[in-house]
Amino acid sequence: MGRITIVYAPDAESSGTSKRSAAMSNNLGYLDSGRQVDVKRESPNDYLDILKPKKGKGRMEFNPYVPKTLTQKGYTKYKLMMSVANKQYETLIRHLQRERKLWEDPDFPTNDSSIGIPEMRGKLEWKRPREINPRAEFFVGGASRFDIEQGSVGDCWLLAVVSSISSYPQLFDHVVPKEQTLQDQQTYVGVFRVRFWRFGQWVEVLVDDRLPVYRGTTRLAFMHSADDSEFWSALLEKAYAKINGCYHNLSGGTQSEAMEDLTGGVCETIQLDPKNRPKDLLQMMLLYEKRCCLMGCSIDSQVIEAKMENGLIAGHAYSVTGVRCVTYQGRKQYLVRCRNPWGGNYEWKGDWSDRSPLWNQVSTQEKKSLDLEFRDDGEFWMSFEDFITFFTRLEVCHLGLESLEHGQDFRGKRRLEESIFAGQWEKNVNAGGCINNRTSFWTNPQFRITITDPDPGDQDNLSTAIIGLMQRDVRKKSGADFLTIGFMLYEVDANQQTLLTQAQLLTKRAAGKSTFVNTREVAKCFRFPVGSYVVIPSTFEPNQEAHFIVRVLTEVAVKDRELDDDNTNQDVPDDVMDAVKLEDEILNEDSEIEKKFDQLCDKKTNAISAVQLKELLNGSTLQDMPEFQGFNKEMCRSMVASVDHNLTGLVEKPEFMDLWQRAKAYKMIFLKYDVDQSGFFKANEFREALKAAGYNVSNKLFNALVHRYEDPDTELMRFEDFMLCCVRLKNVFETVAAQPKTQEGAPMFNAEDYLRCSVYI
């Protein structure tokens, strides 16, 4: 057993740390200086399974914040941190009940910073529900889309989505746990929890019950229920404001953001102008009506919530609740049903509206099948032609394994299958930029999906795939802009397991692509034949850093994997060695270096040490490199270790000559990539240089090598860094190859061998 100190680090992302709120700092103060916990330090053999999505009977669970570079050392501490963080709600409740206190959330204080609206400064105060209405309840008769009214912040886009999901308990009850109450004053501590899907996982947000009202009144300033004794909608909006920084940050969002945050689905945005809308839009909407998805629409406008003469409101969000066909004057007429979350008489006034005489020519049976009722409830029908004429944007949220539990359905339709990948673009490692950057595009992460069956009943024998690329949202809290992101698709053989190379991508035609836009997520729906496809997500410009996730939703489950190179080494390629021999024929340096070796070597052992190797190499043409300061002692020690198989600390003549030839080859490779002969080459060319030296490395190993050998200030690779990396790689590859193997081919190390090999490198 060992002892591990648990230390919280807010907003940290490295292994062994976990986020927490300041509330936890106040209420769990005994953890601030670390808490000693007895644990076994060893990790299981399958510890990296923590990186994989968990697909069980509930919603799919996935944590994109676990570093893909997680090591055995970080695993145990990470698991401990998660077990403590997951008990946050219960621990806080018990503490407050014991102290008989009502919670005051220090992370979302009752001041103007949480409001964020300059014109409201000093006009609001905060009150608890019982201070607003003595009969306050969390729910009054359950949640309903008719409960909600918009307040003084422009978040109709959120209102529309909340209104939609409130009609579906399987979605709503997960976001707003229904066991919460304002009634039990013996146990009530003023803590409420709301769940939002954020960047690959469901996050529980805790808020206290203090709500902003207009000063001197009990009138809620923002979202509220029509019944002034019901408070679930106001508390939900407060939790959403908290996770976004303040109430002001809820102004002017999009339905797609709220749809994703409240359902965990993948949202695609379809522009409805004639130039950009799909030719088969009607067929797509009819298909979406049959599938597990939500739809919303809006009219782009510079003015938020501008009322139009036809009854529609520009800069306002609507829900799309149906797409149907009726017979009108002997022909088919397709209709779209929309809902204004404001309710009342804010409805479409044109053809097929509530009072339109066109309904008189539709059969009673068809009207009954539409559940047609004319009420001032904000819901209305309009023709498909008018829909695409007046609305400018359609947003569709497809619901997958993160949205519904196993066995749950949505309006009688089962959830879609889902694959998810997490990744990170790192400068000079795998942030290759878009296809315009031909020399670096291939370095981006690559993910393969294999579609084995078409959609059930699809007449064209095709499979639908909704692919979404999301970057971590840092915009509202940090003030940073979204990067411009997108992805490319390429068809490959089913047995493709290694990265597509630069040469392959220069000649391969794309099977599909998204647009590149500076939004939180880019998503697009594709229809593919059965086969294997590689998704390559990227930023538009190279060397831009961000965390991302890729999600793929399909009717039929697909096989998925991240493409990666195997860790293998071969001899230096023949063409390089031939060039080395040709150079020696010109310079005739091999015979000279042999003579110097004979002069320096110990006459008893016929070997030299690292100090003597340093003298030899610094007297050779190897040191004739721009900006190269010569071979130092540490570098020569590693060179000795790379050929010293018996750990004597010495190099015999045959070993030295092999090392000499390799060193000349590494110099030649370096000069090839140092095009301007500056003594450096760019670190993003490092992987190609390693391949030229005979080393294929995986993404994880390459990541470690870049961080180990790149100059962090110049982001360049020096000759000595490249040489040192190559000789050490030779050592570790040969060490692994020499170990006994399991039946599966995995090397087996005992502690003694592992420690010796680790220190002598």
SS3 559: strand
- The region that residue 677 occupies, defined by phi over 0 for left and psi between -120 and 50 for alpha, beta otherwise, is left
In sequence order, the 6+-apart residues with CB closer than 8 A to the CB of 634 are none
Q: Is the pLDDT of residue 520 over 50?
A: yes
Asked if residue 105 belongs to a domain, the reply is: no
Residues 32, 162: one domain? no
Measured distance CA(239)–CA(196) in Å, rounded: 9
Residues 755, 656: one domain? yes
Domain of residue 426: give its range.
417-564
Q: Is the pLDDT of residue 48 over 80?
A: no
Maximum distance among all Cα pairs of the chain, rounded to whole angstroms: 112
Q: Residue 580: what pLDDT?
A: 87
What are the pLDDT digits (tens) for 389-435? 999 999 999 999 888 887 787 778 888 999 999 999 999 899 999 99
SS3 289: helix
Q: What is the mean pLDDT of the chain?
A: 86
Q: Is the pLDDT of residue 143 over 80?
A: no
Exposure of 202 in the CB half-sphere (CA atoms within 13 A): 22
Find the range with the poorest average confidence among 58-62, 242-246, 334-338, 361-365: 58-62
- Split at pLDDT 50, 70, 90, the class of 57 is low
Choose one of 535, 564, 593: the last residue of a domain. Answer: 564
Q: Is the pLDDT of residue 31 over 50?
A: no
CATH number assigned to the domain comprising residue 626: 1.10.238.10
Residues 677, 747: one domain? yes
Choose one of 214, 242, 263: the last residue of a domain. Answer: 263
**Mean pLDDT calculated for residue range 513-535:** 95
Measured distance CA(136)–CA(158) in Å, rounded: 23
Asked if residue 150 belongs to a domain, the reply is: yes
Asked if residue 404 belongs to a domain, the reply is: no
Q: Residue 81: what pLDDT?
A: 57
Residues 555, 587: one domain? no
Residues 40, 85: one domain? yes
In sequence order, the 6+-apart residues with CB closer than 8 A to the CB of 689 are 669, 670, 672, 673, 681, 717, 722
Q: Is the pLDDT of residue 476 over 80?
A: no
Q: Is the pLDDT of residue 541 over 80?
A: yes
Find the range with the poorest average confidence among 133-147, 462-476, 581-595, 625-639: 133-147
Q: Residue 584: what pLDDT?
A: 80
Rounded to the nearest 5 percent, the helix, strand and coil shares of the chain are 35, 25, 45
Cα distances from 573 to residues 360, 669, 692, in angstroms, run 82, 11, 7
On whether the CB atoms of residues 350 and 359 are closer than 8 A, the answer is no
Find the range with the poorest average confidence among 21-30, 295-304, 372-381, 578-587: 21-30
- Split at pLDDT 50, 70, 90, the class of 86 is low
Asked if residue 409 belongs to a domain, the reply is: no
- Residue 570 main-chain phi, psi, to 5 deg: -130, 170
Provide the domain count of the chain.
Answer: 5
Choose one of 509, 531, 564: the last residue of a domain. Answer: 564
Whose CA is closest to 425, among 442, 444, 441?
A: 444
CATH number assigned to the domain comprising residue 539: 2.60.120.380
Give the catalytic positions in this structure.
156, 316, 340
- Type of residue found at 663: A
**Mean pLDDT calculated for residue range 64-89:** 62
Q: Is the pLDDT of residue 17 over 50?
A: no
SS3 253: coil
**Mean pLDDT calculated for residue range 447-461:** 93
Beta-bridge mates of residue 216: none
Asked if residue 587 belongs to a domain, the reply is: yes
Whose CA is closest to 166, among 223, 115, 245?
A: 223
Q: Residue 410: what pLDDT?
A: 76
Greatest mean pLDDT among 31-35, 210-214, 418-422 lies in 210-214
Residues 547, 586: one domain? no
Q: Residue 32: what pLDDT?
A: 37
End-to-end CA distance of the chain: 30
Instruction: Name the DSSP letter for residue 233.
Output: H
Q: Residue 84: what pLDDT?
A: 56
Residues 93, 125: one domain? no
- Split at pLDDT 50, 70, 90, the class of 72 is low
Q: Residue 76: what pLDDT?
A: 60
Residues 33, 146: one domain? no
Q: Is the pLDDT of residue 174 over 50?
A: yes
> What are the DSSP E strand ranges found in 128-220?
148-149, 191-198, 201-208, 211-214
Find the range with the poorest average confidence among 6-10, 185-189, 366-370, 732-736: 6-10
What are the pLDDT digits (tens) for 215-269? 999 999 999 988 889 999 999 999 999 999 999 999 878 899 999 999 999 999 9
Asked if residue 412 belongs to a domain, the reply is: no
Q: Is the pLDDT of residue 657 over 50?
A: yes
Asked if residue 614 belongs to a domain, the reply is: yes
Q: Residue 458: what pLDDT?
A: 87
Q: Residue 396: what pLDDT?
A: 96
Q: Residue 433: what pLDDT?
A: 97
Residues 494, 544: one domain? yes
Residues 374, 461: one domain? no
Asked if residue 741 belongs to a domain, the reply is: yes
Q: What percent of the chain has pLDDT over 90?
A: 58
What are the pLDDT digits (tens) for 553-609? 999 989 999 999 999 998 888 888 888 888 888 888 899 999 999 999 998 999 999
Whose CA is closest to 547, among 423, 366, 429, 698?
A: 423
- Split at pLDDT 50, 70, 90, the class of 20 is very low
In sequence order, the 6+-apart residues with CB closer than 8 A to the CB of 461 are 454, 529, 530
- Split at pLDDT 50, 70, 90, the class of 36 is very low
Q: Where are the alpha helices (DSSP H) in 28-180?
A: 72-85, 88-99, 112-115, 129-132, 156-165, 169-175
**Mean pLDDT calculated for residue range 66-77:** 61
- Residue 194 main-chain phi, psi, to 5 deg: -135, 140
Q: Is the pLDDT of residue 480 over 80?
A: no
Strand order across the beta sheet in which 417-425 lies: 417-425, 546-554, 463-471, 521-528
- Split at pLDDT 50, 70, 90, the class of 305 is confident
Residues 636, 723: one domain? yes
Q: Residue 5: what pLDDT?
A: 38
CATH number assigned to the domain comprising residue 356: 3.90.70.10
- Split at pLDDT 50, 70, 90, the class of 668 is very high
Residues 311, 197: one domain? no
On whether the CB atoms of residues 441 and 449 are closer than 8 A, the answer is no
Q: Is the pLDDT of residue 145 over 70?
A: no
